[in-house]
Structure 1
Amino acid sequence: MVDVKPLVDALVRTRRGPLAAGAALGGLALVAGLAARALRGPITPESAPAPAAPVVNEDEARLMLRAMVAATLADGMIDKDERQRLDAAVQASGLAKDGAAWLEAEIGDPVDLDTITDAVNTPEQATRIYSAVRLSVLADTLQEREFLKRLAEALDVPGEAVARIEGELAA
C-alpha cells in the first residue's frame, strides 16, 4: 500500500489563493486547522490554543484523497488544469511511481459517498474530510458544487462549519 499522506499534503499545497501561505506548515496541518476553526467558530487571540499537530492517520488521509478524486470527477471528467494539479501533487509528494499508479486506479474507480461516510467516525473527522476536499477542488462546475453540498450533508458537517470553511476560502 502507498503512504498517501505526502500526496494529500502535496495536493492541498497546490491550492492557489490566500490560504496557500498556510500550506507552508503542511497541507494536512492546513486541513486540520481549517476544520478545527470551522467547528469551533471564531476564536480571539487570547483564547486561541497553541496549534496542535494534525491528527490525520494514514486511513483518514487515504479517505481524504479518495474523496478529493471523487469530487474532481463529479462533473464526469478531469480537465487539463485538474490533471496538472494532480500530476504536480504526485511529483511533489515524492511518490511518483507508486502514487501515480494508486491515483490512476482511484480515478478509474472513484469512491461513492456511502463509502466515504461509512468510514467516518467523528464530527471532527467529517469536517477534516470535507475541508480537505473543499481545499482541493475549485468547485468551478455545477456538478462539483453539488457534490460538495451532498458530501457536507452526508457527513453531517454543520451548516455553520461549511459557511466558515467557505468564508476562509473566499477571504
Structure 2
Amino acid sequence: MFNIDLILKGLQNDKSTQRAAMTGAAGLAVGMLMGGGGKKFLKKAATVGAIAAVGGLAYKAWQSSQQGQNPGEQPPSAKPWSTPADREAFIPEAGKDQEELGKSLVRAMIAAAKADGKIDAEEREAIFFKLAQLQLGSEEKAFVFDELAGPLDVDAVVARADTPQHAAEIYAASLVAIDADTEVERAYLADLAKRLSIDPRLVAEIHKEAGAQAPLLDPAAALGTSRQ
C-alpha cells in the first residue's frame, strides 16, 4: 500500500539529503518538502501524518473562509459545498481513499517543485541518487521516480481533485512544497487555484494558515506576464 508518510519520514531522517536539499539545485526536488513552509509542514507531518497535516491545514483555512459568508456570495466558478464539511471530508480513514489522496498530494508537490523549470538532466540524476538512498518502500520509490521523470503535467494534478475538499488539499500541498517567492511559482499557484475552481477567499486563507506570502490578486494578468 502506498504510504506518503514513508516519503516524509525518509526525508526527515536522512541528514545528508536534508543538507543537499538546502544547497539548491542538486537537491531541489528532494528538498521540495524541506524549503520555506515545507520545513514547518514536515515537522507537523512527522507528528500527525502527512495527510492529516495537509487536511488539517485545508480544513482550518476552509473554516476561516466561511466565516461571515452567505451562500449566495460564492463565485459561480467555485466548486459548491453542498453541506458543511467536517474534518472527515478532508482526512479520510485508512484505506484506498487515503492511499489515493496520498498519491495525489505527492504528485501535486512534485509538480509544484517542477514549476520553475530548473531541474535539468544532471540535477535529476542527482535527485534520483539521493532518493535511492532513502528508506522507502518499492511502491513509494517507484511512484516518486516516475513523477520526477515525467514532464510537468498540471492536468494530472487537477484531475485528482474529485471533491472540493481534495481540491483545497491539492492546492495546500502544492503551496507547502515550494517557497512561492518567484513570479513563476506564484503564477503557477494562481493558475492551479483557478483550474481547481477554488474560491479566492479560501486560497487566501490557505496561504495564511501555511504562513506563506499572499496569493496573486490577478492570476490572469500574472500568468500573461510570466509567459511573455
Say if 2:107 is the partner of 1:66: yes
Say if 2:32 is the partner of 1:22: no
**CA separation in 1, counterparts of 2:166 and 2:139?**
26
Q: Is the 8 A contact 1:66 1:111 kept in 2?
A: no
Gapped regions of structure 1 (runs ≥ 5): 45-49
**CA separation in 2, counterparts of 1:34 and 1:69?**
19
Q: Specify the structure having the higher radius of gyration (Cα).
A: 2
Among the aligned pairs, what percent are the same residue?
Answer: 30
CA RMSD of aligned residues (A): 3.4
Equivalent runs, 1:4-23 vs 2, <5 Å: 4-7=3-6, 9-10=8-9, 14=34, 15-17=38-40, 22-23=44-45
Deviation for aligned residue 1:128: 0.9
**CA separation in 1, counterparts of 2:178 and 2:199?**
20
| Match of residue 47 from structure 1 | none
Amino acid aligned to 2:2: D
Q: From the superposition, tell whether residues 3 and 127 of structure 1 become closer, same or farther in structure 2 (CA, over 3 Å).
A: same
- TM-score norm. by structure 1 comes to 0.73
Deviation for aligned residue 1:27: 2.1
Residues paired across the two proteins, number: 157
Deviation for aligned residue 1:65: 1.1
Amino acid aligned to 1:40: Q
What is the DSSP-based 3-state SS (H/G/I as helix, E as strand, rest coil) of the residue aligned with 1:36? helix
**CA separation in 1, counterparts of 2:160 and 2:146?**
20
Amino acid aligned to 2:150: D
| Match of residue 117 from structure 1 | 158
**CA separation in 1, counterparts of 2:7 and 2:161?**
17
| Match of residue 31 from structure 1 | 54
Match for 2:148 among 87, 104, 107? 107
Gapped regions of structure 2 (runs ≥ 5): 12-31, 68-85, 213-228
What is the DSSP-based 3-state SS (H/G/I as helix, E as strand, rest coil) of the residue aligned with 1:139? coil
- TM-score norm. by structure 2 comes to 0.56
Match for 2:118 among 57, 63, 77? 77
Q: Is the 8 A contact 2:61 2:209 kept in 1?
A: no
**CA separation in 2, counterparts of 1:69 and 1:61?**
12
**CA separation in 2, counterparts of 1:61 and 1:30?**
11
